[in-house]
Amino acid sequence: MGTTVVGFALLLLGAVCGGSFGLPSKFVKKGTAWETLWGPFFFFVTILIPTTVFPFIAEGLFATCADAGSAGVLMPVLFGFFWGLGSMTLGISFGLIGLSLAYALNYGAQIVTGGMGPFIIHHRDQLTTAHGYTIMAGVAVCILGVIACGRAATLKSKSQASDSEGQTVLTGDKLIKGLIVAVLSGVLCACYGIAVSYGGEVTEISVGQYGNSGWRAAFVVAALILWGGSVSACGYCVYKLCANKTWGTLTQPGIGKVLLIALIMACLHDGAILFLGVGIPKLGTQTFGAAIAYPVFMSFAIIVGNVNGFLTKEWKGASKQSMQWIIAGIIILIVGVSILAKGNAMHGEYEKSQPVPAEQP
């Protein structure tokens, strides 16, 4: 029980970082090109920090990757690549259907994929157990919470823009395309959780051969995932810099402030996913812990993000109806997390009840 509480506390700390990493972007000068901020951000997140900082935390990081071989690192890197694609496509969906609807669809898809993906891949035989049904119920309740928060965000946007002329109404092909891209981005972003679930071999080598504790070994797995994501995320930013001919903005006056903001955002972002990586083993095995941790982490992040929204007055002028929906959404998410915690406890009892395999002579 104590380990579970620690695990949930780590996920909450990660959510505080994850739900706050975008706040510094509010201090970027209006009119700054997207790629001028997010290009350095993804570079710091996926290349600079994992390559220069993580090796000081996890002893033998590069040697561990070499010892694991292609079989041990392939899946974390591959699903890391998909995670990078998800981060990229989320940005595209913003321009198609707006922030509120895009976030709601993305987070909903992330909770389903990030929660049920590792469970189905590694523990499909437990889907019809009592704890399996409980976990699926918890995921379903969290999705309802996301829907409620998405409804609140949509109502907020409408009420705040009610006095504006020329409000855009989403219809037709653009709406359909935006819905598809937003859901796809959520599925791809959730590949981070699936990538972590494949990090067991790397973790065992890091702990067994190089003497790292479990939380230090999590940095090795995270490095592999982020390096995989660098190919897609940084690659897209390079494309944008070339297509928009904005390379010159990286040398203009004021770029120092932009880079500092990008670095702060990157530290918060990597802090979020590292707390996630360290918290997962506290909830069970590497494979099962990921199934519980990801929907809990995302639910916490939604709650933290909305709290930050209140603190930064994003909800100023929002309708009473939208406020009621967001409060209801947060309450539903808390209930969903509680159900997932119960499912995790039930899984622990299930594991204890299983017979210990007899040793081979």
Cβ proximity of 337 and 296 under 8 Å: yes
**Is 146 within a domain?**
yes
* Confidence tier at 290 by pLDDT (50, 70, 90): low
**Is 245 within a domain?**
yes
Cβ proximity of 177 and 92 under 8 Å: no
Quote the pLDDT of residue 356: 55
Q: Report pLDDT digits (tens) over 154-172.
A: 777 777 666 554 444 455 6
Quote the pLDDT of residue 206: 94
Q: Report pLDDT digits (tens) over 99-142.
A: 656 667 777 788 778 777 777 777 778 878 888 888 888 888 88
CB crowding 287-317: b at 16 or more within 10 Å, else e: bbbbbbbbbbbbbbbbbbbbeebeeeebbee
Quote the pLDDT of residue 241: 94
- Nearest Cα residue to 236 out of 47, 110, 84: 84
Q: Quick one: CA dihedral 276, 281, 282, 285, positive or negative?
A: positive
Q: Report pLDDT digits (tens) over 20-57.
A: 787 788 788 888 898 999 899 999 999 999 999 999 99
Quote the pLDDT of residue 95: 65
- The rounded percent of the chain whose pLDDT value lies above 90 is 29
* Confidence tier at 5 by pLDDT (50, 70, 90): confident
pLDDT of 312 above 90: no
Whole-angstrom distance, CA of residue 159 vs CA of residue 302: 21
Quote the pLDDT of residue 131: 81
* First-last CA distance in the chain: 35
**Is 297 within a domain?**
yes
**Is 357 within a domain?**
no
Quote the pLDDT of residue 285: 62
- The rounded percent of the chain whose pLDDT value lies above 70 is 86
223-240 mean pLDDT: 94
Quote the pLDDT of residue 166: 46
DSSP structure string for 75-104:
HHHHHHHHHHHHHHHHHHHHHHH-HHHHHH
pLDDT of 94 above 80: no
pLDDT of 255 above 50: yes
Predicted model pTM: 0.78
Whole-angstrom distance, CA of residue 330 vs CA of residue 332: 5
Q: How many domains does the chain have?
A: 1
Structural domain boundaries enclosing 81: 2-159+173-350
Q: In the structure encoding, which two tokens stand for residue 253, read together?
A: 């006056």
Q: In the structure encoding, which two tokens stand for residue 174, read together?
A: 């653009």
**Is 167 within a domain?**
no
SS3 246: coil
Whole-angstrom distance, CA of residue 180 vs CA of residue 86: 12
Whole-angstrom distance, CA of residue 179 vs CA of residue 185: 10
**Is 356 within a domain?**
no
Query: Which residue is it, tokens 């993804």?
Result: 42
**DSSP type of residue 167:** -
Cβ proximity of 141 and 338 under 8 Å: no
**Is 164 within a domain?**
no
236-261 mean pLDDT: 93
The mean pLDDT value of the chain amounts to: 82
Quote the pLDDT of residue 98: 62
Q: Report pLDDT digits (tens) over 53-80.
A: 999 999 999 999 999 999 899 999 999 9
